[in-house]
Amino acid sequence: MLKYFFAITGIILLCLNGCSAIPFKKAIPVSVENVDPEIVKEQFALKMADKFQIINTIVFEYKGQTLSFIGYSDVDTKEKIFTVAGINPVGVKLFELMGEKDKTVLKFAIEDFTKKGNFTEAVGGDIRKIFFDRLPETGAKVYKKKNEIVFTQNEGDSIIEYVFAGQDNLLVEKRCLVDNKTVWSVNYYEYTNKNGKLHPLGIILNNFKYGYRLILRLKEVRS
């Protein structure tokens, strides 16, 4: 799959700088007054792919600076394992790493990425936030807003919230709160059916604690 990834990258690179990273279309607000939250969760679970290989264009934003690159991800959400790689707009490989639920191993990264902070754990953590645990646990608390169903569950000192909304009541946001403050959030936009399963065309991760944002635009899916 990595050979396929690098083979089609040239085509994607041609449009990367010309493609607007945002905005994505938000889910159309629909009343959830008569919607059963458990059915929403069950139906969403059936619509998600357990294993998939995807290619995204990715924009990293931090303190007014941006970095654009192509990202390849091979993800198994049940086993909680992944491989991820990235190259820049001129075709230079930036990094490659693989991980599981609680461990990430760096296979390659350019020096600019490794000399500041723990790059491996940062990327691994973001992959987990985006692709793993997209369903609330059994027994999670639930409440309704006018147009949203929100599941909440405790994870250590944090609270994880899952927001379902839109015409099909799909997951539109996952967020983590500590001391009533959101420390990170992942928003999912414009779901599309690929190989019988749903994938968001757009994903935005905001890390409020460290002040950066990742914007992912789906280009290719293999399930």
Q: What is the pLDDT of residue 22?
A: 54
Mean pLDDT, rounded, for 15-23: 46
pTM: 0.89
Mean pLDDT is lowest, of 39-48, 85-94, 131-140, 170-179, for 85-94
Q: What is the pLDDT of residue 23?
A: 61
The number of C-alpha atoms within 13 Å of 156 and in the hemisphere containing its C-beta is 5
What CATH number labels 2-222? Answer: 2.50.20.10
The model's pLDDT over 7-18, given as tens digits with 9 standing for 90+, comes to 434 434 434 444
Percent of the chain with pLDDT over 90: 79
